Structure 1
Amino acid sequence: MKRLAALTLLAALSACGDPKAGEPVIRTEIGKGSEEMAAARKALSPCEHVKFEDVPLTHCVADPEKHRIHTALNGAEGQPYRSLSAYAKSLGDDAVNIAFAMNGGMYDGAGEPIGYYVEDSERLQELNRNDGPGNFHLKPNGVFYGTDGKWEIRTADNFYHSVGDRPQFGTQSGPMLVIDGKLHPEIQDDGPSKAIRNGVGVDKQGRAHFVISDAPLSFGQLARYFRDELETPNALFLDGNVSELWDPLAERLDTGVSIGPLLVVTNREEVEAE
C-alpha cells in the first residue's frame, strides 16, 4: 500500500507539472510540489544512508516478497555493458522497474567474469576453485546465487559440494567477508588497505543486503558491518575501487572505470512507464 500511495502521488505531481497549451511555463526552484515529490521518491527507495565506525555507507535491501534479483553482463551486441549507465540506457522504458543495481563480481580485462556466473539459468562461466593472487583468491571466496526468491551465499567449496541444481542467477567473488557468523580468518580488524568497497549478505529472513561505502574503508570494517549491524551469517565481498551503485529513486548513477557483471534488483510490482 505504501508503494501504491507513493506511486499515485508521483503520478499526480507529474501531471500537475504539465501546463495546458498556450499557457506560459513557470519554473520554481523549490516548492511544495518538489518537496512532496522528493518525499515520495524517498519513501519508495530501498536504499538508505547510514554510518558505521564513522564511515558513510549506502545500504540497500532486496526483499524476496518485493523484489527479484538477476545478473546482467552483455548487451544486445553480445559485449559486456562495462558500466551501469550503459545498462540503464539499454533498458529504455523498462528502467522504471529497476529498484537498484550494483557491480556484481570480479572480471578480466574484457569484462568477463573470472568465476562462476549464471544468468537466466544459463551458466556462462564455471566455478573457479583455483589458487592465485588478488582478492578473488583470498580463500575462502564464495558464490551469491538464487532461484525464485530464495537467495544464498556459500563458500566456493561448500557450493561445489552442496549445490546440484543450477540457480537462476549466480556470481562468484571473493573473499568471503562473513562465514557462518565469523569474520574471514585472513581479514584483519583494520588492515592497511582502504578503498571504496561493496558487498552483499543474506540475513536469516532471506533478505539480501547490498552495501557500498561512500568513503574508503577496510575489509574488516565492511565485514563487521555485515556481521554486527546487519547480522548476516554469510556475506561476500563484491569488489573495491570500481564499486558502483545505480539507485534510480535517489537519482544516483555512479560512473567510473569499466566494470564487469552486474547484480540487478527489480520490483515484483511492475510499474508502467508513462
Structure 2
Amino acid sequence: MAHIVCVFDPAAYDIRIAHADGNGRPFGSLAAFDEAMSVNKEMPLLSMNAGMYHKDLSPVGLLIEEGKIKAPLNLDDDKGNFFMKPNGVFLIGKEGQAAVMEAFEYARTMPDTLYATQSGPMLVIDGHIHPRFEWNGKSRYIRNGVGVDRNNQVVLVLSRKAVSLGHFARLFRDELKCDNALFLDGAVSAMSRGGKHIAGGQHPVGPILAVFEKEQ
C-alpha cells in the first residue's frame, strides 16, 4: 500500500485540532496527545500531525481550538513550504462542516470556525494543481495532507514512501476527488490509531488533527 487513506464524514465523527494541554504546554508528540486523551477517557480513533511549527513547537500559522484563536492567520511572505502561496486553512465550522480554503480567501470571508489549522502549500485549489509544482519533482519525502471530497467528507492521507508534491496533489485530485486539498507536512509526518503508532516517524509535532467517535 503506497498511501494510508482515511475518509471521515464530519457529520458522523468529531474532528478536532489540538496543540497544547490545559497548562498551555504543547503535547509535542502523538503519543503524548493520545495518552492525555486516554486519561480523559477520550481515546481518538486516529491522530495525525497537522501543521508546521517553530522550534518551540508553536504553530507557524492559524490555530483555532474550540472556537478560540490560539495563533493568528499568517499571510506573510518567506521561504519554505508553508509560504509557497497559495497556502491554506483546514477548518471545521461551528455548524460541523469541513472545508479547505486558500488563506487569503479565509481572511476575506472569515468563516465561523470551531477548529482550524493553517499550512502550505495548497495541493489542489478549486480542482487545479498548485501552479508551482513540477509533474514529479526531485524533492521526495513521506508526506501527509488533508482534503475535502465532493461528498463533503474529510480525506486524510499519509504516504508510506517518499513522494513528490506533484504526485501527492494528483492523488488528492484525480483519485480521491478532492477539489481542494492542503499539504500538512513532510518528513515529520506520522499517524497513530487508537493510541498505537502505525506510520511515519517519531519526530516532534506541533498542531494535531484528531478524529473521535461522536457522542450520541
Extract unaligned runs of 5+ from structure 2: none
Structure 1 counterpart of 2:79:
133
- Computed over aligned residues only, the root mean square deviation of the Cα atoms, in angstroms, reads 1.7
1:194 paired to 2:140: yes
3-state DSSP of counterpart to 2:79? coil
What whole-Å deviation, never above 9, does each CA across 1:176-207 have from its counterpart, x for those lacking one?
Answer: 00000010000111001000000000012110
* Candidates 77, 93, 100, aligned match of 2:23: 77
Structure 1 counterpart of 2:126:
180
Structure 1 counterpart of 2:203:
257
Q: Which amino acid aligns with 1:181?
A: G
Q: Which whole-Å CA distance do the structure 2 matches of 1:79 and 1:242 have between them?
A: 20
Structure 2 counterpart of 1:99:
45
1:243 paired to 2:189: yes
* Candidates 149, 154, 178, aligned match of 2:96: 149
Percent identity over paired residues: 38
User: Which structure is higher in strand share?
Assistant: 2
Kindly indicate whether structure 1 or structure 2 has the higher relative contact order, using CA contacts under 8 Å at least 6 residues apart. Answer: 2
Once the two structures are TM-superposed, the CA of residue 250 in structure 1 deviates from its matched residue by: 7.3
Q: Which whole-Å CA distance do the structure 1 matches of 2:191 and 2:125 have between them?
A: 25
Counterparts in 2 of 1:90 and 1:96: CA distance versus 1, 3 Å: closer
3-state DSSP of counterpart to 1:168? strand
TM-score scaled by structure 1? 0.74
User: Which structure is higher in helix share?
Assistant: 1
* Candidates 164, 170, 173, aligned match of 1:224: 170
Once the two structures are TM-superposed, the CA of residue 97 in structure 1 deviates from its matched residue by: 4.5
Counterparts in 2 of 1:164 and 1:62: CA distance versus 1, 3 Å: closer
Flag the structure with larger Rg: 1
Structure 1 counterpart of 2:158:
212
How do 1:111-130 and structure 2 match up within 5 A?
A: 111-130=57-76
Give the number of equivalent residue pairs.
Answer: 215
Counterparts in 2 of 1:205 and 1:129: CA distance versus 1, 3 Å: same
Counterparts in 2 of 1:89 and 1:164: CA distance versus 1, 3 Å: closer
Q: Which whole-Å CA distance do the structure 2 matches of 1:222 and 1:267 have between them?
A: 28
* Candidates 124, 134, 159, aligned match of 2:106: 159
3-state DSSP of counterpart to 2:202? coil
Structure 1 counterpart of 2:13:
67
Structure 1 runs, 4 residues or longer, greater than 6 Å off: none
Q: Which whole-Å CA distance do the structure 2 matches of 1:114 and 1:96 have between them?
A: 27
Once the two structures are TM-superposed, the CA of residue 68 in structure 1 deviates from its matched residue by: 1.3
